[in-house]
Every structure is written in structure tokens, then in C-alpha cells.
Structure 1
Amino acid sequence: MPGIERDVRPDASHGPRPPRLQRDRIERAYKEQLRRAAEQQKVEREARRPACAGCGTKLTDDRWKAAQAHPTPGPRWHPTLCDGCEDRAVRAASQAENEHQEQEEQIPGQKAGGWFSRLRT
């Protein structure tokens, strides 16, 4: 039986190797499965992506990461707004603050004329 010895391969213990076409088909199916899984993860990530509270557009990756890192709003930081809406909100807040300061400066006599000013004289 010398012919049998010639057919023995080192990987014969793992069974016969599948034909090349079958290996290619298995490899393509595996790559397709990986592609579908990556696509599914991408869809799920986009579904979790928050939208701007002002205009409704989806936040960018950088804005999303910054909002997750610093979720507490401040005077110049609004984590639920996109960059454009945040700029408008900050400008509106600073303009309102400036108008408030101007009103206080224009009416200095009214502040001095209260009950306590009568006690000073």
C-alpha cells in the first residue's frame, strides 16, 4: 500500500481540505457578514446620536464627544445645542447682559432715592 502513504498530508487529521471554490465562497460569506455587522453598528450609532435642541440637526462627532465629556451647561457652553445655535445663544445672552448693564447705568438717580437715602439725610 505505498500509494496511501503518498496521499497522507500533515493536516489530514483535520479532515480533507475543502475545494478552492468552496473556500472562496466561505470567505466571501464571512466578509459579507462582517460588512453587515459593521453597517448595523453604524446604523445603531446614528440612531443614538443626539440632535440639537434648537434646530434639530444631528450633532457632529466632535460636538457629541464634548457634550458627553462635559454634560453640565454653563454661561458659554450649551451641550444640547449645535455650534451654530450655541453661537446665537451666547450672543443673545451677552447682548441681554449688555442691555441690562446699560439700563442700570442710565438710571443711577432712581437707585439712590429709596427709603435708605431718606434716612441718610
Structure 2
Amino acid sequence: MRKLSLADLPDGGTPATLAAIGQGWGPVQRGGISRYDAPGHRTHPESDVHVHDVPEIFTIVQGAGVLELDGVAETRFAAGDLLIIEPGENHHLVSDGDVPLVFTWMHLSPVDAGSTSV
């Protein structure tokens, strides 16, 4: 897992920045935006293991909370943070801010043999 701030992005988050963040992976495969109103909301049930075989990038738009990574809740996040989850990392976001947690999520795609990453 890597944590960056929007201020760390040299060009404001253009496709070139996404390519650098996800170096070695293809373009965004799918994504969305989520909102959780209640403090303590966890993105997946506590009993679930939630992993992907591709990186996932979260951009925290509003709110704050803690990232549980491989069963340990120790990484704080707030609006303006980017969280880059590596393939195979068990991850869950838990909201604990005073305002609803709003974030975008993007799964990068594998690079096909013979093609280049973006």
C-alpha cells in the first residue's frame, strides 16, 4: 500500500499521473464513486477478505477514516489522500469523520502480452 496526497501529484492527476502511480499496469478497468453517511461504516463485511489481482486506487474526496490492511487498522486517511492498494492486499475503508465519507475507486487493468502500459 502507498499513500499520497493530491498535493504530491505534479500535474493535478492527469492520465500521465495515473500511469505513473500504476506503473506496470494498464488503464483503468472499472471504477466508481461511493458515499457512506454513518461513522464506523466499513466498506465490506468484517468477515470478508477483500482482495484483487490488480491495483486499486482510492481518492478520498470528503471525510476521514482508517484503512484496514491485512487485518490491521493503522493507516489514517482524509480528504485529499490517494491510497494505492497493491494486488493481493486485503483492504477495507472505515469511516470515522464528522461528515460523510466520499471516495472514488479505480481498478487498473493487467497489461496484455505485447502491449504497453499507459
Q: TM-score, normalised by structure 2?
A: 0.17
The structure where helix makes up a greater share of residues is: 1
Find the structure with the greater CA-based Rg.
1
For CA contacts below 8 A with separation 6 or more, give which structure has more relative contact order.
2
Q: TM-score, normalised by structure 1?
A: 0.16
